Structure 1
Amino acid sequence: MIPKQSMGKRKNKNKYLFSIRNRIFVFAVLVTAIPSLSMGLLLQNMLQTTLEGKVKQKFVDSAQIMERELSLWLKKRVYDLTVFSNASIVSEAVTAYLKMPEERADDGKNRVPNIKILETYLSTLQHQFKGYVRIFVLSRTGSVIAASQSGGRDRPFTFPDDYIEQISDRQWFKGRAYIDSRDKSPLILIGVPLFLDQLYEYETLLAIEVRLTGLLSLLDPAKFGDSGDWTYQSLVDIKTGRQFLYGRGAKKVLSKINLSPFGDRQPLREYANGMGERLMGLVVPFRELGWGLFIAENYEKAFSGMIHARHRNIIIVCCFSVLMGIVAYLLTRQIMVPLSALTRGAERVAEGDLDVRLPVRRNDEIGFATTVFNEMVANLKLSKTKLEQLATTDPLTGLNNRKQVMGILRDHYAYYRRYKTAFSVLMLDVDHFKVVNDTYGHQAGDTVLKQVAEIFNENLRNVDSAGRYGGEEFLVILAESGVDESIQAAERIRKAVASHTFIHEEQEIQVYISVGISRIQNQDRDEQEVVGRADMALYRAKDEGRNRVVYQAADDQ
């Protein structure tokens, strides 16, 4: 039998454990602990993201230096080839070979006087430039016409399938890296066309076979400010993902990693090699070279200090958050809750969300502050709407104003430079607009401009942009349009204006427009040049009788 005194103590104890105060305390601990733990995880992710961002930026910076060095290296070889190709002995021997009938050119006895001299010259060059394994004169199909003797004439080499496209783009070509069967070193074929005329016609090629081991110094991590203990680099073929040249100490670590063909953007990611090492790596493509740079670091060794610091910070933040949460609940709950709502609302406003409206539940200073906040956000939203309209829209026509349409044109030009997506520009002017103002009054002229703007909106696509350039001049940007499409669009607008009857105060007015067209070109240094050509075309349309469309191909045409 339990004594009554013991039962009383137990009841008091249970009453103390389940009191309202303890329940509130437990609730406050839970409410504070859960967000704190969530914040700790969020902070961990933020630190991880920041760390990876710094590593990626360091890799990208190193890759940019590498790309410049590789470009200079290739340009030096192309320059050597250009110098070789300008030698008179090359031009004379190749010219004689090309003029020789086909049946005689294949005859070894007839080929000796021309080709033998050329091969001797190529052998001399090859001895002077130790980094060149072989020097060739090739036909358009890649067959050997003449070759330096020291490198072996019949040993196979890799000839690129797309060399014609490469020559059309940059007047030289580069093959894929391949392995020398004798010493297993990587080689590459670089060539230029011989006797390239104004029509880009050529029959033969001058090429060199270069050993890529000369690039090993560029793959030294110390060149980019790294100690080299945990950083590894290799050159990769973009199309195949095959690593063909490794930096100091990198082959043992990176050779077991299989890289797939990759696109323009590669994320920083973790790799595991055959040795069980954890690596953080990035592949940076060099599109113009057809190569890429694979950079990797040992994760645990390079980032161990940051990882430990991150864990300590998370523990400290969680403990401090729990403690501050309890104190805040006990002392300032009645104030912090509404103030937190105001803070969150202010943050949303700072991020551009002007649809915030906080509920007003209190009739005190905080409730008054909440009401004022709601009114302030409403007024700010109204002011922002008006400012946006004033800043970007022409008040008369409702079209983009000059500043806005030129900003859109700059965006199109930047997009073209990056992705080669062509666009066209129309410069339109109302013919004899001064006569309309003088005859019917300026209000009639304003009516004409408004209705012309409506015709633009009816005849343009959603992806096109139109704006008032000044006075009676308008600028139209046709996105992703060719020459024929831009001319058809201009004619459609011109005919629509010509067939439209403009009415102002029961007076019928007939007006016409002249249109100048230009299209973005690769040599344009900025967006002003394409606008200048469109303006020139507009003046031509005016001089040729108005009410017409003129296309301007280039400044000198």
Structure 2
Amino acid sequence: MLVPFLLLAGGALVSFEGAIDSFEKQENVGLEELFPLARIEGLMLDISGVVNVEDTASKKVSVAKFKKTAADINYNFKIILTRPSQLPERNESIYRIQEEWNQLEDLGLEIVGSSSQAYKADKTAKISEFQLKLQEILQNVQELNYRLIAFQNTENLRQAQLVRGRVRLLVAIIFLLALTIAVICAYALSRSILVPLYRLQEGVKHLADGNLKYRIKLKTQDEFSRLANTFNAMAGSLEQSQTDLERLATLDGLTEVYNRREFNRWLSVEFERSRRDEHPVSLIMVDLDHFKQLNDTYGHQAGDEALCCVAQLLRKEVRPGDIVSRYGGEEFAIILPKSSVEDSVAVAHRIRREIAIQPIRISSEDRIHLTASLGLATFPSDVQSEEALLRKADQALFQAKKLGRNRVCLATEVSRSSPG
């Protein structure tokens, strides 16, 4: 009598194992596509600073760094194109982005490699052209990244729905068999088979609906318990993969604070919330002083260590609800919701002081001290639009560096002749 149920349990186990393999394969394919693409995006953000180097002394360093970063970008393009994809338009998008990048790479080499006086007069225009084209490429990379993530989620849901269909069929078969068993065995069978299967079905339904936190709890020690454990392991793996994808899309890979794209999103969210609820919101721009000199003296690895230390210091010195982001290069941006001018000024001065007094560990033996320049703007006391808030904070930062660095400058202290 138990043989049919044992066979069905074995079939369910095989079905679940096959579903897990398909989920894991799909997740691996998604990660193999997304990680090189995110790497390309990060390298392109890094290379944007190389073409702005002006002094002749660091020209060789700029050329070498540009070529190395460009080689890394080309290598990641090669990695993506050698891997198959289930998204039909992916390769077409990659080839288009790669072609745009190849053209931009030639322009970048021309900018960083030339030092003639005749070329310098045209350098500003070429740098602007380079940055504009680079921004277009980054937008294309981000759009492809969003499409790949959406495609990955769709495939995960499709796989979960297939598993749910198999479980429903299995439940139906067992239910029909259970009707033929004597009444005296009905209660035992319902407790030992139907209840665990119902819970398995509920688990798959939750998974298909996108609830990756759901777990099945069974007290039995049989095949169904193994199925529940397998399901829970699969759900945990999917949840971790989703967390990794979200983390990859929102955090800066080096400093572990929000990246530039996530900063732009939070700035829009907090500005609209501030306008709706009629409370202030402040923006602090932080730029490390003489950071290029640090890289030239101790190396780029030491510069990366310094950026990580400063990022952790910023997170420590702000409130839990404040938003710390890496704006680009050695520049950070901090959004302070519901923070008045006076409160924001106090935070900015505390950050400047802590950066100046805290020793930065760049190796097991070496400690250095850095300083930072900060610019602050507040809505609605200083500006009336989101764009103006960002522009005023940036102008205040420029004013702080112009006045000697290692200081805080407010938007109200910016020269009257400045736009906005």
Q: TM-score, normalised by structure 1?
A: 0.38
Which structure has more helix as a fraction of its residues? 2
| Higher RCO, Cα 8 Å, sep 6+ | 2
| More strand per residue | 1
